[in-house]
Copies of this chain bind each other. A is one copy, B any other.
């Protein structure tokens, strides 16, 4: 479908993995370490890559390796390629299994009942395949779909939805979770201003596979510099709040399901709602995925939010998706930047 394969200047997955490591680490030695090879071959590989592309990719000035403009472009493209390669392997292996299944991923503790209903409704359909549920840490869902470990994901407002198509499922208000003894807990209603400056839990923006995936040093340092603790799931988050290490904005349903003495939940007047969406690989034509998405939307539209006072009225399904659903992004997406 694409055009000429040509030789693409003979770009290779290995080259892209290597370049990505260096561009992210901004340091050949650390990158080599991360890749599990020695530093000299890495230097050579990157240099060869630059020669093949006929472009300088890295400025190796004194004491600092920084990507050039072209290097930044290649870094972005490399990530896409590597995800696509990963996806190719995962999806092929999955398709080869005797009874292929739809793999849906979600972070633990959110929308478990909705998820249960979805899978049940799907499995109830005649000749529907199996459904596997793959739990993932905060912020991991997008990556799991992109690299093919999962077919669809449930993810919330503000999570990384790069390269995915989304359809919103449910919306509910968010409330503040405060340590029981916190000064703000004395008040019955808060506003965002009240929370400004307080330590928020830092959802690890990135996959925490320390072994085979790292962030560049600045990203790591940046993460370390954040005031709040790093949490991977809702129980860690609540624990952090209970221990007084942080405050957090959580979906109302999560608060409902986690009433505890050591945490005070308070409405926040001007906090945006939490929207849960279902996501699938952008442009997927898989009828199985389309069917699951349709089912999910159907179920969500009948789904009564677990019972909190002023939830929004049940969502009306907009035009049902075609094969993989009309790619509609959340409003958030278009507002992402000016």
Q: Is A82 an interface residue (CB 8 A)?
A: yes
Report the Cα distance A88→B82, complex, angstroms.
Answer: 11
Could you tell me the distance in whole angstroms from the C-beta of A134 to the nearest C-beta in chain B? 11
Cβ-based interface call for A1 (8 A): yes
Taking a contact as CB atoms under 8 Å apart, the answer to whether A142 and B77 are in contact is no
Q: A88-B78, A89-B8, A334-B322 are in contact. Are A209 and B3 (CB under 8 A)?
A: yes
Q: How does the 8 Å CB contact mask read for A73-113 relative to B, with 1 for contact and 0 for none? A: 11001111111111111011101100010000000000000
Which of A52-60, A220-228, A256-264, A265-273 makes up part of the contact surface? A52-60
Residue of B nearest to A212 (CB): B4
Cα of A159 to Cα of B52 in the assembled complex, Å: 33
Q: Does A12 contact B (CB under 8 A)?
A: yes
A134 to B290, CA, bound (A): 36
Q: Is A282 an interface residue (CB 8 A)?
A: yes
Identical chains in the assembly: 2
| B92-A1 in contact (CB<8A) | no
Check A162 for interface membership: any CB of B closer than 8 A: yes
A11-B13, A322-B334 known; A55 and B93 CB under 8 Å?
Answer: yes
- Contact residues in B for A78 (Cβ distance below 8 Å): 88
A43 to B206, CA, bound (A): 40
The answer to whether the Cβ of A321 comes within 8 Å of any Cβ in the partner chain is: yes
Is B96 a contact partner of A70 (Cβ separation < 8 A)?
yes
Q: Does A14 contact B (CB under 8 A)?
A: yes
Give every chain B residue within 8 A of A88 (Cβ-Cβ): 8, 11, 16, 74, 77-78, 80-81
CB-defined interface of A139-151 with B at 8 Å, one 1/0 digit per residue? Answer: 0101110111100
Contact B11 A142 (CB under 8 A): no
Q: A329 at the A/B interface (Cβ < 8 Å)?
A: yes
Q: Which residue of B lies closest to A83 (CB)?
A: B2
Whether A2 lies near B146 (C-beta < 8 A) is yes
Q: A312 near B: Cβ within 8 Å?
A: no
Centre residue among A5, A55, A162 by max chain B CB count within 10 A: A5
Taking CB atoms, residues of chain B closer than 8 Å to A326 are: 329, 333-334
A143 touches B3 (CB 8 A): yes
User: Are A143 and B2 in contact, with the CB atoms below 8 A?
Assistant: yes
Residue A163, interface by CB 8 Å? yes
Q: How far is the CB of A322 from chain B (nearest CB, A)?
A: 4
User: Nearest Cβ in chain B — how far from A50, in angstroms?
Assistant: 10
- What is the interface of chain A, defined by CB distance below 8 A to chain B? 1-6, 8-9, 11-14, 16-17, 53-57, 68-70, 72-74, 77-89, 91-93, 95-96, 100, 140, 142-144, 146-149, 160, 162-163, 165, 206-207, 209, 212-213, 282-283, 285, 319, 321-323, 326-329, 333-338
Give 22 pairs: A residue, B residue, CB < 8 Å, sorted on A. A1-B83, A1-B162, A2-B143, A2-B207, A4-B86, A8-B89, A9-B93, A12-B12, A53-B89, A54-B93, A54-B96, A55-B93, A55-B96, A56-B96, A57-B92, A68-B96, A69-B95, A74-B91, A77-B91, A163-B282, A323-B337, A327-B327
